[in-house]
Structure 1
């Protein structure tokens, strides 16, 4: 199932790199490793972007946050941030700057594999079954380029992979209340964890991208105690 899918592991700890390389290779992935930002960039320049990047936060030179921001300027490749076990701040910052998910060290291999599978499934939707243009409110979404064009301001924005997947989830379920676990299962392949703020961060980021930040949200409304609902009219086209 995973044959030929390419994962880049970026971590300054040799033991972690070796363990991930061995485990992911056994699971059928093509694996590359880099020990810091310079070697990561050299790999991207020579080999192009992989199917997924595992990116450690604490590294010499540029840290994982800076590297994630730089990657997001050029690619929507799925990124999983590797954080310290108790550092919720790292997790929130990672999601705010465009990471798709995070996992705390030390982690169980099967737990990591579940996160990887979920992101890779969502990064490769069936384009034949998906309309190429979707209009909602004042926005026209291009599902092939992951860009949205504002019909009023003429502004075009690029959506990260996680922002696009979250938006498509809401568009696919208009006027339907989606609770936090439903959202997390759909975009991450798992239920939310106790006290996890990742969904809140991603929703806030998507609202900001869409200019939906007023007291009365135009697109994604909060249903207190229940979840969220997408209320904009949706039109499909090609």
Structure 2
């Protein structure tokens, strides 16, 4: 398995992801500058968190036009895996690989915290190392992380099982009290209909090393790695 991590001016979580894939899991990992276009040898492309191009205009609005992202779109359309984390999720919605949008948090301030979230399904490489209904804890750090979509889009997401992660309480209740940013339906992460593109606001790469006392995010990367080991 080979992993590529897109690096924009303003990315700040690219090395965090590489620390997990290359450092902890010993997976071949390549940093891809935003002007590079050759992703042909890669199995998984990660668009990391941060502030691509300074988040001018709005989050992800400029990144959508980068040469690398055009190649990411082709990579996704070929059925290969794409993971967008935080700013990466925002970019995926900007380019239309995922529906909806990420807008200003409900209380209009930046949130940096660790929050519980529920795994909605476990039959995909992204969540194969979790169990359906499992509550995990991951860090969030965003000012524009409130998932928004029209009612028809929300219905489609729910009907197709495209909501993969949902904010919840520590005991698994999904309600507004357990919603940190006002995301509709407590949505924390979604996939496309094919299941090969995942966008999520929480940071699994920041919860993957036992040295920092939180490892719930490591299972996401391990699940993807395992899926390639068995040829899924």
TM-score category of the 2 structures, normalised to the smaller one: 0.3 to 0.5
Structure possessing the higher relative contact order (Cα contacts under 8 Å, 6 or more residues apart): 2
TM-score, length-normalised on structure 2? Answer: 0.36
Q: Larger C-alpha radius of gyration, 1 or 2?
A: 1
TM superposition score normalised by structure 1: 0.35
